[in-house]
């Protein structure tokens, strides 16, 4: 019995040594050096090479090394009946909330303007609105969205969430489904996106959607923060909306194509803040512990947690 590690874009060394430390009883091998493929009972994957998870006759579970599983699901050769488990782990959740709180505050407090002023030695003590003056809308009100939403609420923001199904989170208004999307957008000054990428959410962040956001917030135009997936957004529409003043500012952690190409105008745009898909890193120690715990559960015949619903795609 062995674990197969499928992380072609990452250096496998750290994951191999973390797994060996946390599960010394289980052999772990990194693709493509899998040895006898029949030995592999558990696959651990991040952006696996399409086709690499097929022909593993004794595979029991595929573990994603992240919360999102879009890159695993888009492989047409993926074995059909094998459960896919995603990451739901406090360390990752807290990291995402750090990113969301930081970005919301950077926009709200106009921190980039302050830094520009410092460089120009300009003493410009402009008025700053209160957190309660901003209505933040979290699009994708799941594990990550709810944690970030609750923390923003504690900071004084007026928070709402949008998801497929209604949520019951004290003090946070929950909007559900397409029927309530427009009302959610109309009350949103700062849009935080933590949706998964699925056929339904592909390209959802487009100019038509931005036009439905509130124009009555402190800046007179809305702010977009996307840390969900790049394929949710239409980057040419983001640029056009910024140009037209329909968006006030944007923070993007994820992109249509990653890494973001050097030629992209997003890099140098004064109203766009780019980070390299680093909002919430998968920490090897925390995530390995989480996966090893689940492997031991599976070996004991107990049910797995956080199994992905393949039909809905997340």
Q: Residue number with the shortest CB distance to ligand NDP?
A: 142
* Tokens standing for residue 55: 């022909």
Residue 223 bridge partners (DSSP): 190, 249
CA 164 to chain CA centroid, Å, is 17
Catalytic option among 29, 215, 277, 310:
277
Question: Which residues of the chain form contacts with ligand OXD (CB under 6 A)?
Answer: 66-68, 87, 280, 282
Q: Does 194 bind ligand NDP (CB under 6 A)?
A: yes
Q: Does 225 bind ligand NDP (CB under 6 A)?
A: no
Shortest separation between residue 270's beta carbon and ligand NDP, angstroms: 23
93 vs 214 by CB, closer to ligand OXD: 93
Shortest separation between residue 95's beta carbon and ligand OXD, angstroms: 9
Q: Does 286 bind ligand NDP (CB under 6 A)?
A: no
Shortest separation between residue 194's beta carbon and ligand OXD, angstroms: 10
* Tokens standing for residue 86: 């995603």
Shortest separation between residue 220's beta carbon and ligand OXD, angstroms: 32
> CB under 8 Å to 283, separation ≥6 — which residues?
91, 92, 95
Q: Does 100 bind ligand NDP (CB under 6 A)?
A: no
Helices 143-154 & 90-108 angle (0-180, nearest 10): 50
Q: What residue has token string 């923060």?
A: 225
The number of beta carbons lying within 10 Å of the beta carbon of residue 115 is 11
With CB under 6 A as the contact rule, the residue among 144, 192, 266, 292 that binds ligand NDP is 144
Count residues binding ligand NDP (CB under 6 A).
Answer: 29
d(CA 198, CA 287): 24
> CB under 8 Å to 40, separation ≥6 — which residues?
2, 3, 4, 29, 34, 56, 58, 59
Q: 312 catalytic, yes or no? A: no
Within 16-95, strands assigned E span 27-30, 40-45, 61-64, 84-85
Q: 277 catalytic, yes or no? A: yes
Q: Does 190 bind ligand NDP (CB under 6 A)?
A: no
Choose the contact partner of 165 out of ligand NDP, ligand OXD, none; CB within 5 to 8 A by kind: ligand NDP
Helices 111-119 & 90-108 angle (0-180, nearest 10): 60
Q: Does 277 bind ligand NDP (CB under 6 A)?
A: yes
Contacts with ligand NDP in 241-260 (CB under 6 A)?
A: 253-254
* Tokens standing for residue 122: 């300009």
Catalytic option among 86, 107, 108, 229:
229
Contacting residues toward ligand NDP, per CB under 6 A = 66-68, 96, 140-145, 163-165, 194-198, 200-201, 227-229, 253-254, 277, 279-280, 314
Q: Which residues are catalytic?
A: 229, 277
């Amino acid at each position: 019995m062995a674990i197969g590690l499928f992380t072609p874009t990452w250096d496998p060394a750290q994951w191999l040594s973390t797994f060996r430390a946390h599960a010394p009883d289980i052999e772990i091998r990194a693709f493509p050096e899998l040895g006898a493929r029949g030995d592999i009972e558990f696959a651990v994957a991040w952006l696996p090479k399409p086709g690499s998870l097929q022909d593993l006759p004794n595979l029991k579970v595929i573990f994603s090394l992240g919360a999102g599983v879009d890159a695993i699901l888009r492989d047409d050769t993926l074995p059909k009946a094998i459960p896919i488990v995603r990451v739901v782990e406090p360390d990752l959740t807290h990291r995402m909330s750090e990113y969301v709180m930081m970005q919301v505050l950077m926009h709200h407090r106009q921190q980039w303007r302050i830094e520009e002023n410092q460089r120009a030695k300009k003493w410009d003590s402009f008025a700053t609105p209160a957190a309660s003056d901003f209505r933040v809308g979290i699009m994708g009100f799941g594990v990550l969205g709810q944690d970030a939403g609750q923390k923003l609420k504690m900071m004084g923001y007026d928070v709402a969430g949008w998801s497929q199904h209604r949520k019951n989170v004290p003090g946070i208004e929950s909007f559900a489904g397409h029927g309530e999307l427009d009302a959610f957008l109309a009350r949103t000054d700062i849009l935080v996106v933590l949706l998964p990428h699925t056929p339904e959410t592909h390209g959802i962040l487009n100019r038509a959607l931005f036009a439905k956001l509130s124009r009555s917030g402190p800046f007179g135009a809305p702010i977009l923060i996307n840390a969900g997936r790049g394929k949710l957004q239409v980057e040419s529409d983001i640029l056009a909306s910024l140009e037209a003043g329909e968006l006030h500012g944007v923070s993007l952690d994820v992109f249509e194509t990653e890494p973001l190409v050097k030629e992209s105008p997003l890099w140098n745009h004064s109203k766009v803040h780019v980070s390299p898909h680093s909002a919430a890193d998968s920490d090897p120690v925390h995530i390995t512990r989480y996966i090893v715990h689940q492997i031991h559960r599976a070996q004991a015949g107990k049910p797995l947690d956080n199994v992905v619903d393949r039909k809905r795609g997340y």
